Each structure stands twice: as structure tokens, then as C-alpha cells.
Amino acid sequence: MSITRFSFPTVIHFGAGARALAGPHLHQNGLRRPLIVTDKGLASLPLMNELKDGLESAGLSVAVYGGVFGNPIGSQVMAGAAAYKAHGADCVIGVGGGAALDVAKVVGLLATHPGDVMEYVWDHSQVRAIDAAALPYFVALPTTSGTGSEVGRSSVISEEVTHVKRVIFSPAILAKVVFADPELTLGLPPLVTAATGMDALTHNIESYLSPAYHPLCDGIALEGTRIAARALLTAVREPGNLQARADMMMSSMMGAIAFQKDLGAVHSCAHALGTVCDLHHGLANALMIEPVMTYNREAVPHKFAELAHAVGVPSVSGFVPWLAHLKNRIGIPPGLAAAGVKREHFPRLVEIAARDICHQTNPRPCEAADFERFFTEAY
């Protein structure tokens, strides 16, 4: 597999072995003291030592902040900013899945700007301005294929006490360069591959169904859906299949590029499940996609016909059953109950989902009663 370079708009080096380009790239750009921002699990793996060795062989002095875990909260960002200052860092390398990359995007922001991370969320009453020129150089190396955070211009950080997800949005926090190396995903366990893969698939599907006008994103989303439909089962069943891993990494990036067109009610439900039950975001999307898609189908049957064609089923009515069959084959739990969600969580889940902004671009309007039905049907 060769390494391909393209821009959309971030410069992306895509292919097996792309991670080896990160150190020379930073050195060539006059950077010497990177801080790697990653999660607790990755920080202790041999992979991190390999990455550090590669960076150091390029003449860099490397420090690692491995304090990201779960659905990241503000204190993790602030601790990362402190680590950046303590190292005297001049750039940030995000390594990991969506959580680690979301934190990495804003560690440099809080290391060079005043205040708390929550003062930069887009809907803060007195949101602080971001000085793009002051931000340190940031590159990303994804190790999962789900959120596509490496090419996204937003960072999702949860509030400390309520755990409500908040969004910092700015083109200024986009990675300068992405080193998308599917070899970094070869060690993912089957359930993580399945959950993150369903996240990528959901991003593509929901962005395509959004009523916002963006034909560029529509084309990307349909192709991202087709690629995931082709590759996800193979990636789960054959974890060493590099082509399937590469396909899922590409679908993940395509979903993140497409969802600048916005998402839908599946994500409102998933955000609620993350807030109330600390459920993995990709798993939450997977659990909620069928009831929401069943609800949406009558509003945009022509779009469901395109989705059915993309995944290889012959009729509009076959798309939702195809999703159910795929989920069963890749090992997604059969419902919310199997994932540890309890019925007493429903009132809070409905409240948060109804307040979430994502469903404002659902193809069919939703209100609290609809969300109650979605959670009931998914149970």
C-alpha cells in the first residue's frame, strides 16, 4: 500500500507507514519539542514507545501527556495545557481515537490563551475569541476509525459536573497535517472496531440525510457509506486485514468531512447516552440508529433509496433491516438493556436529547415524545 498525499482542506498523508513521516515533517518545519496528547490506554502500550523513538530519531525532544480517558472533561484539557507548558513544548501531536484527538486540538489553545476550556464553547454567553496565530502547530495520528476527529474543526468536551457534552468549533483548531496510517488500527479489539465503525457509518448516513444544502458533502457521505458497508464486517472478523482497516479509516474521515453539513437525531440520542450513562459514543450511535432511521424513512424516501443502493440492498425497505443484520454480525449488543442502560434513565435521556442541537437538522422534526419512543424501541 502506497502513501497518498491530498488536502481536504487539511493536508493528509494516507497509507501504511504514514506515521513515520511525522517526525521529519515537524523537524523540517523548525519544531523540536512536541507534546504527544493521548489516552491512558495508549500511553502504556509499546506503540507509544515506537512513536516516541521515531520522533526522537528525527531530532525531537518528546514528552507524553496520557491523561485522556472516557468521554473527556475539561480538567483533562487543562492538565494537558499544564503539561505543554512544563515541557516548554512548541507543538502538539494528537495520537488516539476521537477523545484523545478532541483533547489534543484544544490543549494548545489553553496553553496559549487565558481562561477555562468551557469559556471557548461556541454557545458560551461570553465566548472567548481564538487567536489563530497564537496556536501551536498541531498534527494528528488517528488510531481508530470512527469519529474522524483528525479532520474535524470541532472539539467535544464534557462539563465537569453534569457531563453534558459541549463543543468548541473553529477552523483554527484543525490539524495542520494528518498522518492517517491504517497500521495503527490493526490492534483494535473486535468490539472497538465494530463500535467505532458504526460511528463512521452513522456520520455518513446522518450527514447525507440532513436537509442542509451541501451537495459536496452529500457525495462524500454516500461514498463513505458505501466504503464502510463494504469493509466493516471484514475489519471486525479479520483484524489484520490492512485493506479493510484502510477503508474504514477513509470512511471515518469522509464522515467527519461530510458532517459539517450537520447530523441528526441519532446523535442527539447518543450524546444523551454519553452524558447519562457514559456510553461509548460509537456504541451509542449503533444502538440508536435503527429506531431513528425507521422514523426518518417516510420523510425522505428518495434519500433512503440512495442509501439502500450504496450498501447494496435492492429496496428502500431493506435499508433498516440491513443495518440490524450488520450490527448483529459485528457483535453490537442487541439493545440498550444489554449495554447497561436502565429504564429509570429514560426521563433524563429524553430531556438531554430533546435539548441537543443535532436533531435540529434531522430530516423529520423530533420532540420529547419521539425521543421517548426511540429509547423505548432501542431498549
The residue extents of the domains of the chain are 4-185, 190-378
Which CATH number does 4-185 carry? 3.40.50.1970
Contact between 12 and 5 (Cβ < 8 Å): yes
For domain 190-378, the CATH class is mainly alpha
pTM: 0.94
pLDDT digits 0-9 by tens, 229-266: 999 999 999 999 999 999 999 999 999 999 989 999 99
Burial class (CB in 10 A: 0-12, 13-18, 19+), 108: buried
Q: How many CB atoms lie within 10 A of CB 202?
A: 30
- pLDDT the model gives residue 322: 98
CA distance 138 to 173: 8
Q: Kindly report, residue by residue over 86-131, the tens digit of the pLDDT.
A: 999 999 999 999 999 999 999 999 999 999 999 999 888 889 999 9
pLDDT tens for each residue of the chain, 379 residues long: 789 998 888 999 999 999 999 999 999 999 999 999 999 999 999 999 999 999 999 999 999 999 999 889 999 999 999 999 999 999 999 999 999 999 999 999 999 999 999 999 988 888 999 999 999 999 999 999 999 999 999 999 999 998 888 999 999 999 999 999 999 999 899 999 999 999 999 999 999 999 999 999 999 999 999 999 999 999 999 999 999 999 999 999 999 999 989 999 999 999 999 999 999 999 999 999 999 999 999 999 999 999 999 999 999 999 999 999 999 999 999 999 999 999 999 999 999 999 999 999 999 999 999 999 999 999 9
Grid cell in block for residue 321: 433491516
Query: What DSSP character marks residue 128?
Result: P
Residues present in the chain in total: 379
38, containing H or E segment: strand 34-39
